[in-house]
Chains A and B, each alone.
Chain A
């Protein structure tokens, strides 16, 4: 028995030796659809850092629903930087742990959003249900796929874009707006927890007629799974989604990685960073730095923003719409 324990200990130390010997590592805790973006960006940044300083650096990624990822950082996940879907999620880390200062949005250009995106529709090839705008989503027999706004950042943008459209259509009548959004969610047969889950539901499992998706997610699905199966429909009105990034001061100071972590975020705004963002279907915040060919792919959409008077920023919108007992809870009754 003692021999067995020794053997296990030896095996354990051998197995552990791998990661323990690594050099400076940086952990980027991100949300669901940015996997491909940061895979490309990390390679570019590692090369850039090596050229600048001669140091090798290991970049680690963790992905999941934006809210769940923020929760993990609050519970102690050792993130050097967070790149999440919503300002509210980073605010939650700031207020619950104090590891990020409250004014974090002002520390980087464009309110800490190096790229933006919007919400579009992904429909099956030939658009058999003739879906052109938000109003078509509540027609009889149309099934809509979106993740759950309670758990998914992307889903909150979906919901708010629908809200903005209904508000505009009804001329500011809140009861009618609520009714439209409520009806829309009655057309949702499956409410996944994250954006990528909804995409697989729609694309792989073949459920639903239209997927409300991040523009980058919709383009990626087209690219990965074939333009012969799906097409993108751009609604008359959508929302400008600004996924923000932030340094987790409390963690980088403990690990001594502040310098490289700051450089990592700043490099997102460089020519390389902006080009990679555009290549991965995110709208660069400095389009003049990106490849014009990539920019041509983005359709013109009339965009509202979260800071418009209609919503009044995340600090107001989050509790009013998505808090416990908020408007989403009032209008959403799961369809049987």
Chain B
């Protein structure tokens, strides 16, 4: 980005003058920082600490037992499976949609953008329910599916569908502004130098958005593993078969197995923390590349 000359001129002015014009008194600054930190502590760190405290209150052995319980293991496996299917699907879709929206002009573009946002505005319970209305045995398709022995609702495919629906916008929403900001200049250059469309996408577009893409994938993954509402409606709650981790936490809690519930919850929290650490580590390691990619 080329800086406005008048701004650059401003930088040469005496420091003191600048600070007086743009910053508050130290007391105000510290108060604001303190409020921010307090908020963070009360609403984020405290609950997180409580989860781990409750989980480990019964001792490490009880914790290990809760997590290695066959139903808990099945829930963990299922949650990972759901994420392993729905994240790649949304990765492909998100990339394709963002590319189309950001780099091309076509009729119905704003409609497409609205549709991408739909899962954000719809309650997750509805997201689960629509698939029951579509594929349940009372639906039009239901009898045909039953005759052919295809189980969608109250089985893994239904949970995958609901999860994909709910996590649908994450990657596309992350990429669209980034791609729009980058414009089509580099792609035009590549094509004018004789690169094919596919090659342009792989060698120019994709490398430019890889950090945004990674961030989108991490967000999408976190939500895919943590989704409760939509999955709850369509899962059927069969222990060891269609119970994901968030559902298993609820079941354990309702069975007075509080420390086991918190043990599984802490595992979910750990997965989320791991995601965050991974993201921060990558950002730190490749800080220069990220600035370069963003600073076009």
Contacts and interface: CB of A to CB of B under 8 A. Distances in A.
B203 to A, nearest CB: 14
A145 to B, nearest CB: 16
B237 A75 contact: no
B84 interface: yes
Contacts of B85: 8, 12
Interface in B141-166: 142, 146, 151, 153-154, 156
Contact of A96 (B138, B151, B153, B238): B138
A64 B237 contact: yes
A248 to B, nearest CB: 12
Contact of A11 (B81, B153, B240, B253): B81
A63 B88 contact: no
Interface string A1-42: 100110010011001101100000001000010011000000
A11 B137 contact: no
A197 B251 CA distance: 11
A187 interface: no
Interface string A185-221: 0000000000011001000000000000000000010
Nearest to B254: A196
Given A11-B81, A18-B74, A75 B132 contact: yes
A14 to B, nearest CB: 9
Contacts, number: 75
Interface residues of A, number: 34
A279 to B, nearest CB: 17
A36 B241 contact: no
Given A11-B84, A76-B136, A78-B151, A62 B239 contact: yes
A293 interface: no
A196 B146 CA distance: 33
A76 B151 CA distance: 9
A76 B154 contact: yes
A62 B237 contact: yes
A60 B81 contact: no
A63 B240 contact: no
A62 B154 CA distance: 11
A63 B84 contact: no
A4 B88 contact: yes
B256 interface: yes
A76 B142 contact: yes
Contacts of A200: 253-254
A189 B33 CA distance: 39
A16 B240 contact: no
B238 A62 contact: yes
A74 B84 CA distance: 30
Contact of A60 (B78, B136, B238, B255): B238
Interface of B: 74, 77-78, 80-81, 84-85, 88, 92, 132, 135-138, 142, 146, 151, 153-154, 156, 236-241, 251, 253-256
Which 5 A-B residue pairings sit nearest by Cβ, starting from the closest?
A76-B137, A75-B136, A15-B81, A224-B256, A77-B154
22 contacts: A1-B92, A4-B88, A5-B88, A8-B88, A12-B81, A12-B85, A19-B241, A27-B238, A32-B254, A60-B239, A60-B240, A61-B239, A62-B237, A62-B239, A72-B154, A75-B137, A75-B138, A76-B135, A76-B136, A76-B146, A76-B153, A97-B137
Interface of A: 1, 4-5, 8, 11-12, 15-16, 18-19, 27, 32, 35-36, 60-64, 72, 74-78, 96-97, 196-197, 200, 220, 224-225, 254
